[in-house]
Structure 1
Amino acid sequence: MKNKILQTAFDLYRRFGIKSISMDTVAQELAASKKTIYQWFENKDKLVEAALNEFLQQVRTSSENSPENSVEALVKTLRLHNEKVVGINVAFFYDLKKYHFQAHQKLDRYLAEELRPYFIKNLQNGIEKGLYRNDIDPEIVANLCIASFSVVVDQDVFPVSQFNQQEVRMQVFKLFLRGIVTSEGKRFLQSASEEN
């Protein structure tokens, strides 16, 4: 039941934002009582945090077994994160940051302690193999890539009323990738992009 609660809650948060979804709403969606929800989660903050943990674990599991090639691995990782974020209402990120500090810190830790080191290592390997330009600084580029995740969901920069969020993400990642690859890396980038 716990996993079903987590999946249902995250699906609701993803579609409608967190603030607008009460424990009652989650219970109704499950056709269960609020008491059932509270047996597993003492409050909404704990449910939000656990649902986010479950989501991040799914992302981690999906990103295992990356290709050997740095460019293909980076494309796969960016595509995976894009696919996982597609359909997440921008209100989710806003609500997470404003109302659920602990859960937002977990997301920040994931980005800083897992995704950023992955990007740095990938960039270093790609530079060594001649797939990425040798004049880029892996730490700066990794930070830019992480920052781009926040920018693409920023409603002040890319309002949903004007921009397709998936298209914004794809454009940002294409620009990013094309800016760092060498001519050798470009072959792998084209190959990986065609697989999409």
Structure 2
Amino acid sequence: MQSFIDKFRYNAKRASLVQSRIKALERMGHVDEVVNDPDYKFEFPTPDDRPGPPIISFSDASFGYPGGPILFKNLNFGIDLDSRIAMVGPNGIGKSTILKLIAGELQPSSGTVFRSAKVRIAVFSQHHVDGLDLSSNPLLYMMRCFPGVPEQKLRAHLGSFGVTGNLALQPMYTLSGFGCSGGTNSRPCFVPRRDSHG
């Protein structure tokens, strides 16, 4: 609409159309320009030494938080390299708890959870921002996670997620999404983790 107004503002034949569009814009109020985020390409390198199946297995695993009810009992399943899993259920049923057991953040009350020593597990938590020092910047975060990796390589990785140039040096709380109420922008958190459980 604004481009029409700019184009024909001084055209006498279209003056009434321009005026009606100006009034329509005033009624709408200010609308922020739509900014499209760039597409991201995730690359997960193929490991040199692939573990044999199962990479994770639950054998008669039970779990309940101290003072709370048993969330599940005698759970038996295995995860292989070609497994694809969807966790669906109401809140409080134990989905996140099972994921924490898989990652090794929790131990079963009884039974066993086996994780192959060749498997590296990384977690992108729904509360990922809680664990970040928002006064730090993305480049320093990467340098702490990956000591010894050249700065240029870390910057290239951050750049693949749109965190380029001076953005990599800005405190994370100043980056889009972190200072806003409501949802948070996960872009600076999509970095490889070096955590290894197993």
What TM-score results when the alignment is normalised by the length of structure 1?
0.21
What TM-score results when the alignment is normalised by the length of structure 2?
0.21
Which protein has the larger Cα radius of gyration, Structure 1 or Structure 2?
2
Choose between structure 1 and 2 for higher RCO, CA contacts under 8 A separated by at least 6 residues. 1
